[in-house]
Amino acid sequence: MRIRHRPLRRGHVVLAALVVVLGGCAEFDDTAASETAWRTPPELTAEQGPQPEGESSPPTGSEQQRRDIPPPDGCTDHDPAVLATCLDTVTAVAAIAGTKTPTAIAGERRTGRVLRVERGKKPEVIAKLNVSTAGDGGLTGLALSPTYNEDQLVYAYVTTAKDNRVVRFAPGQRPSPVLTGIPKGRAGNRGVLAPDNTGALLVATGDAGRPQAATNPASLAGKVLRIDASGKPAPGNPANGSRVIASGLHSPGGVCSSADGARTWVTDRGSDADALYEVTPGEKLDTAAWSWRTKPGVAGCVDAGQGVTVATSIAGNLQFVPVDQRGSVTGKPTVALDGKDGYGRLSGLSVLTESVAVAGTVNKDGGSPVSSDDRVVLLPIQPEGGGGGKD
């Protein structure tokens, strides 16, 4: 269930956070993928990136001023938390750490466009992927190479005319298949990506509209996978020669790990409820850390240390789920950026700093878009004052 605490206003939460910022059997085509492997990641991973330098914090004004941000004027958005405007269904984002100004890669589900977005600059299209949007598919996941600043490689989860797959590319290059043959169906095609802290890639896949596939070990549908750059099983997986580290998903919305790699989470939209699961390699996803019977449309997630922040694409808010060091939920979720105080429907989330994440909106996909939608925005990773309430 979802319990709402007093919503935090957009001005209070986002602009306060800005101060921190700006201070069937599957078929595989391994031979089609490039032989280049991910290099050993540096100490600072995508989840542990340094804070941007070289830009002073923008003035936030009084609390009243923060509540009175002018409404968007066409594609011009006066909200300093907005990085890019007038995009289309920004389902996936990947923050670029260490830049002087907040920067990210954003993906549009329906068009297949991948863009580099940066504060104060016009979004730059770096790739156009061929996608099929049937059954909630399209371009639904993005992740950066652990050595992105050197190789500029971007990984994407896409639906094609015949399957779901992971591809990779650099700006100006044709996408190269990494993992193909992930089952495709009339529904359950959404998949998401995230790096872990070892340099491997986490891939959460939908069940392709066939719930039984999620528990079938011969199928890649409904699974959490852990792969290397060529799509092969990553070293350290529970079963040698297997990409699968967990099973039982239906329609994943996000996958994320803590900065130290001690915890991995995945959000999922089930038939009866939405859920947040902690992933224990080698075990089924059968007991949720938290579930929402109201089905808010759980999407992207980030591990904020003291809790897990979950974006929702139906309710259109952030849910802060407090957890302890063992990963046990310690209280009811706190809701923020709800209703008129939020940005509408949210989808992908990606950590930019210890306190701020990049998010994409999907208001053009069943929501109530404003003139500047869809947008890429900066959001707080956790509410002011810490986690949620106690049971």
pLDDT of residue 94: 98
Euclidean distance between CA atoms 3 and 5, whole angstroms: 6
| Arithmetic mean of pLDDT over the chain | 85
Instruction: State the Cα torsion 125-129-134-137 to the nearest 10°.
Output: -80
* Predicted model pTM: 0.85
Instruction: Sort 276 into a burial class: Cβ within 10 Å, 0-12 / 13-18 / 19+.
Output: buried
* Residue whose structure tokens are 């986490």: 202
Least confident of 27-41, 160-174, 234-248, 366-380: 27-41
Beta bridge partners of 264: 257
Euclidean distance between CA atoms 89 and 111, whole angstroms: 9
Tens of pLDDT, residues 29-80: 333 333 333 433 333 333 333 334 444 332 222 223 336 789 999 999 999 9
* Residue whose structure tokens are 């900066």: 378
DSSP state for residue 230 in the 8-state scheme: T
One-letter identity of residue 186: R
* Residue whose structure tokens are 């639904």: 140
Domains in the chain, please, with CATH? Answer: 10-380 (2.120.10.30)
Tens of pLDDT, residues 218-268: 999 999 999 999 999 999 999 999 999 999 999 999 999 999 999 999 999
Cis previous bond, 338, omega within 30: no
Euclidean distance between CA atoms 353 and 138, whole angstroms: 28
- Residue 31 vs residues 24, 119, 152, 180: alpha-carbon distances, Å: 21, 39, 22, 11
